[in-house]
Structure 1
Amino acid sequence: MVYYDLCYSQRSFLHNHLLKSINGKLAAEIITETINIANAIRACRLSTPHGAYVLWEKTLDAFEILGMNVGFLRTRLKRLLSLSFRTKQALIRKSKEAKLEQARAKDKVITLESKYWKWKERMVSADAKIEALKEVAERRELFFQEEAVAPWG
């Protein structure tokens, strides 16, 4: 069914121009491998190793030399290889940038945490001073009240 779909997409049998000297068994193997490569191309992902693309490309080159109409597969393969390369390069670059930004942010967080604890310490110290001053103020208020209500004499 896949081979039929491939032939239909090209409006001719892909094997029409195979060399006449190729025996039927080899022709069948070429067709089978063409189907396998077409399926692999359809199933490939960004994570597909570069070596797989190279192997498919070399195989399709050889099939084309033998007369198999696989130029459209080679075109798709080259486009995917180019997209894969550009995408991977962009992802690597953006990943490096993000890691650099992450490191800067981490340094900033460490700096800010240090400042936070320093200011937190100052705040605790100021709170303690305020409490001490409240106690002093309360004692002074008591002393003041004692003087205010003291006998006149």
Structure 2
Amino acid sequence: MNDKQSLTLEVGKYYRMRNGRKAIVTCDSGANPFGGEDDKFPFNGYADGFEAGICWTAKGKTSGWNSECDIIGAWVEPKRIKGWVNVYSGNDESYGNPHNIDSSHHCGHVYPKRAHADIAAVSLTGRNRIACIEIDVLEGAGLEGEVA
């Protein structure tokens, strides 16, 4: 989140942490009647992939610097992408390389059904389809180096 946006944590709501993981705030311990450091991190909760709980400030921070566990916004469920992808040989001169990618294979559109992918492969004369792969992934998966 940038400084111009405000974030108000609420118990029972899901949030996105800086590392992209899903977190939930489970408790607001409120102000410490005895003072001290506890006032700085009144929100407690859990995050996907972490065994221990996490404490946050009212602004979603876990420390004085940017941490992978800082809350940066509300959680939005990623879109599921299901379908079929044709893979074409990169040596195919008619396909070209519009993004100047140094690769021997290219993929294109995600088709909802295998039959649609087959029709597209046949209709694109001059292309050399080498595979048709079924995919079922969450949008953004694999883009930050994580392994599914």
TM-score range, shorter chain: under 0.3
- Give the strand-richer structure, 1 or 2: 2
- Give the helix-richer structure, 1 or 2: 1
TM-score (norm 1): 0.25
Q: Which of 1 and 2 has greater Rg?
A: 1
TM-score (norm 2): 0.26
